[in-house]
Amino acid sequence: MDAVPILLLLVLLILILGVALGLSIGALASEVEKRKKSKNKIVRICPKCGRDLTLMPEDIKRCPYCGNELA
C-alpha cells in the first residue's frame, strides 16, 4: 500500500499550494487596492511645471517650484 502516503502527500501539497496561492493573491490584491486608494486620494501636479505636489500641504495657493497659482 504505497499509494496512500503519496496521495496524502499530494493532498497536503495541494492544500499548502492553495493556501500559499490564496495568501499571495490576497496580498497582491490588497497591495493593488492600497495603490489605487493612494492614487485616488490626491494626485496633484502643477499644470505649469508638471511637478508632483502630492506631498505639499493641501491648502497651498501657489506651486512652490515655479510660483504658478493653483486653482
Q: Which residues bind Zn ion (CB under 5 A)?
A: 46, 48-49, 63, 65-66, 68
| Residue number, 34 or 62, with CB nearest to Zn ion | 62
Q: Which of 39, 43, 44, 38 lies closest to 64 in space, CA to CA?
A: 44
In 1-71, DSSP assigns E strands to none
| Residue number, 22 or 47, with CB nearest to Zn ion | 47
Q: How far is CA 26 from CA 21, 23, 33, in A?
A: 8, 5, 10
CB of 63 to Zn ion, least distance (A): 3
CB of 57 to Zn ion, least distance (A): 15
| Residue number, 22 or 50, with CB nearest to Zn ion | 50
The H-assigned helical ranges of the chain are 3-41
